[in-house]
């Protein structure tokens, strides 16, 4: 071994040690400056001597060449999901079935993304997402950028562990602040940010996001263990960052006490948790209890109720939606809640305010619905001083100044001015959104800029934009402008279902649009459709039908549709060739859970492209349920009714086999 190779190996070992001290033990022994100096020396030596390259070198954590896609990985052992319990009576029932006298490990449930890490001969060789529990995605390159994951370990046998990748709260706040400054959409919470970061095709982006991991289970090992806590101690010796707040206890009272203690610490932790996991500590107990198809019988997740905090409601302001509905929103004294700082909360409508007697100046209790959308759940009337004032709804639109009307039978106020600037921005923004025409790069701030400058007066004007025009706007370079024009061009072929849904007609969402296009495959036909005609369609009631008729009665609607057609936007469904059969014709599918590679809308489009129909609910008429990770009640109902259940892979095989048979 020459001196250069010896120095390279020495630097790798030294950097790995100091990374462990910093990222796992949180007790650094050298300054950042000294670490960076050693890191730079190693980079320079490796660049000058590529013959000593090693994919497990600390220098590889910065990311590399982007991938075209993620490959599928079949897990060595299934990565099951836990049964949730929401109160202590449900927990008691679990203990009664599993054995209350048993020894249990109680540990924090990190709110992140589950992964499996595999090691062979002491080296990290593969990392995969959970996926549907059986098949996940190979995200090895991205996981190598997570600095708390050891790239090499002392143990040289086969080893596979399961962990939870998460984004620390401080990294999440910095990421969202940077995105807000650039005019980009914000992540809803750290879990959402972690999932999006780990699934980047460009690992350099993942490396910049500052992800972290806690390992919580030993999946595969050549060594035998008798207890879960023993296996975790072994993993800690190998350099893994082990799940925090873990304690082994016996008995219902001790378990409840530990769960409460973890819950009390929740707001002070530098990472998000959404529960506490209770699992049998003896591995022989786990083997005795076994598991169902998707969940172990030896563990449950106690889910904490949504975090609530009190704050002052300082004002009520009105937002004009894309259909003209005026939605009141509460302006709050900023409060930290479920991973983000909250200063606004929806008040839904006037009835919501009146029923709860919400007044400006009140102290209110706020929580996040689904840990995402802030909402006011109660008013603390004991704190009223008499200075609070009742909310008076506006009589004119705050955006355009036109009078507002109250819809019969509804609690909403509405601006009827179709040229209202606020409606235009939200209508065009909705048209470009992912669930509609999916124009990547056309965010809310850019839409507002386009509408405000007069370049876009309706959605059809998007298809007249050029790269030269866009490049002249603030914060738009030539490359960004070119990419946006390409995204607009790609949206032309989304099809009439997506287009109809994207037009923002009241009551016409994705489901209704699909049903309508099955009856009217050319949107031109809707100009002559009547309410009576439309109500013959499943999923279309009288109110929806009237909204469609009213929308297509406007002269500007015909002008907009004609302008889109002239620009090449597909407004009609292609008719199948004479005698052509589709492999999924006549079949109805229900999608549930998170699929390994396909997003829900992509799977739905694929099914309908091949002749099938998708539904949102399971019934005896359902042909198949396609289930992914964390499938919920729809999967249970399918099993109850005897409806066949498919994985994503089985669905794709059904399409492929059907095409070959036709």
Instruction: Point out the residues that are catalytic.
Output: 109
Q: Where are the beta strands (DSSP E) in 321-426?
A: 325-337, 340-346, 359-360, 363-369, 373-379, 389-390, 404-406, 413-415
Which residue has 């509905």 as its token pair?
A: 325
Distance CA(114)–CA(212), nearest Å, equals: 12
Helix (H, G, I), strand (E, B) or coil at 532: helix
Long-range contacts of 445-454 (CB under 8 A, 24+ apart): 445/183, 446/183, 446/473, 446/476, 446/484, 449/473, 449/474, 451/421, 451/424, 451/425, 452/421
Quote the tokens at residue 290.
Answer: 């076994």
Contact yes or no for 631/592 (Cβ under 8 A): yes
CB distance 271 to 136 below 8 Å:
no
Q: What is the distance between the alpha carbons of residues 138 and 494, in angstroms, rounded to a whole number?
A: 29
Mutual angle of helices 444-452 and 421-432, in 10-degree steps? 130
CA–CA distances in Å: residue 85 to residues 89, 93, 99, 264, 276: 9, 10, 17, 18, 10
**Residues 123, 56 contacting (CB under 8 angstroms):** yes
The secondary structure element, H or E, covering residue 135 is strand 135-137
Angle at 301 between CA 289 and CA 642, to 5 degrees: 65
CB 642 within 8 A of CB 614: no
Write the DSSP string, 46-98. Answer: HHH-GGG--TTSGGGGG--SPPSSPPEEE-SS----PEEE-SHHHHHHHHHHH
* CA separation for the pair 274, 338 (Å, rounded): 9
26/20 Cα distance (integer angstroms): 8
218 is written with which tokens?
Answer: 């030993």
């Amino acid at each position: 071994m020459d001196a250069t190779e010896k120095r390279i190996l020495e630097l790798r070992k030294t950097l790995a040690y100091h990374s462990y001290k910093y990222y796992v033990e949180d007790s650094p022994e050298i300054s950042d400056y000294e670490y960076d100096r050693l890191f730079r020396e190693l980079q320079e030596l490796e660049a000058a001597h590529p013959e000593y390259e090693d994919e497990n070198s600390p220098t590889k954590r910065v990311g590399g060449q982007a991938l075209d896609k993620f490959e599928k990985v079949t897990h060595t052992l299934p990565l099951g999901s836990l049964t949730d319990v929401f109160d202590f009576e449900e927990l008691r029932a679990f203990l009664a079935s599993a054995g209350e006298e048993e020894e249990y490990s109680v540990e924090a449930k990190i709110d992140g993304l589950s992964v499996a890490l595999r090691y062979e001969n002491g080296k990290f060789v593969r990392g995969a997402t959970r996926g549907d529990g059986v098949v996940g995605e190979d995200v090895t390159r991205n996981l190598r950028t997570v600095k708390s994951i050891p790239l090499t370990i002392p143990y040289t046998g086969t080893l596979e562990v399961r962990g939870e990748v998460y984004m620390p709260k401080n990294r999440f706040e910095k990421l969202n602040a940077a995105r807000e400054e650039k005019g980009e959409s914000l992540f809803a919470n750290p879990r959402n940010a972690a999932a999006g970061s780990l699934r980047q095709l460009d690992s350099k982006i993942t490396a910049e996001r500052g992800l972290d991991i806690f390992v919580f289970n030993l999946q595969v090992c050549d060594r035998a263990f008798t207890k879960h806590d023993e296996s975790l101690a072994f993993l800690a010796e190998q350099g893994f960052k082990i799940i925090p707040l873990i304690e082994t206890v016996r008995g219902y009272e001790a378990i409840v006490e530990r769960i409460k203690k973890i819950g009390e610490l929740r707001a002070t932790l530098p990472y998000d948790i959404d529960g506490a996991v209770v699992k049998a500590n003896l591995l022989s107990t786990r083997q005795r209890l076994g598991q169902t198809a998707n969940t172990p019988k030896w563990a449950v997740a106690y889910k904490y109720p949504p975090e609530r905090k009190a704050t002052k409601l300082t004002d009520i302001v009105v937002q004009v939606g894309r259909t003209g509905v005026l939605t009141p929103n509460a302006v709050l004294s900023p409060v930290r809640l479920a991973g983000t700082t909250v200063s606004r909360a929806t008040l839904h409508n006037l009835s919501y305010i009146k029923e709860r007697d919400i007044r400006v100046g009140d102290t209110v209790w706020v929580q996040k619905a689904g840990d995402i959308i802030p909402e006011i759940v109660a008013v603390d009337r004991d704190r009223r001083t008499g200075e609070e004032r009742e909310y008076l709804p506006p009589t004119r639109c705050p955006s355009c100044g036109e009078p507002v009307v109250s819809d019969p039978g509804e609690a909403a106020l509405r601006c009827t001015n179709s040229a209202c600037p606020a409606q235009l921005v939200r209508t065009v923004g909705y048209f470009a959104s992912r669930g509609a025409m999916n124009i990547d790069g056309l965010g809310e701030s850019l839409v507002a800029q386009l509408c405000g400058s007069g370049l876009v007066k309706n959605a059809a004007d998007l298809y007249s934009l050029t790269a030269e025009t866009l490049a002249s706007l603030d914060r738009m370079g030539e490359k960004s402008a070119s990419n946006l024009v390409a995204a607009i061009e790609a949206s032309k072929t989304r099809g009439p279902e997506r287009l109809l849904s994207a037009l923002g007609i009241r009551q016409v969402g994705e489901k209704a649009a699909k049903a309508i296009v099955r009856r009217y495959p050319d949107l031109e036909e809707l100009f002559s459709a009547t309410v009576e005609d439309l109500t013959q369609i499943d999923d279309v009631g009288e109110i929806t039908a009237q909204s469609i008729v009213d929308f297509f009665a406007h002269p500007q609607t015909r002008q907009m549709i004609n302008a889109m057609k002239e620009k090449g936007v597909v407004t009609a469904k292609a008719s199948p060739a004479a005698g052509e059969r589709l492999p999924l014709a006549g079949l109805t599918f229900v999608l549930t859970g998170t699929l390994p590679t396909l997003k829900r809308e992509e799977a739905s489009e694929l099914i309908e492209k091949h002749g099938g129909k998708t539904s949102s609910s399971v019934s005896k008429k359902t042909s198949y349920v396609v289930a992914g990770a964390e499938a919920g009640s729809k999967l249970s109902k399918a099993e109850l009714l005897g409806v066949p259940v498919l994985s994503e892979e089985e669905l794709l095989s059904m399409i492929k086999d059907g095409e070959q048979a036709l």
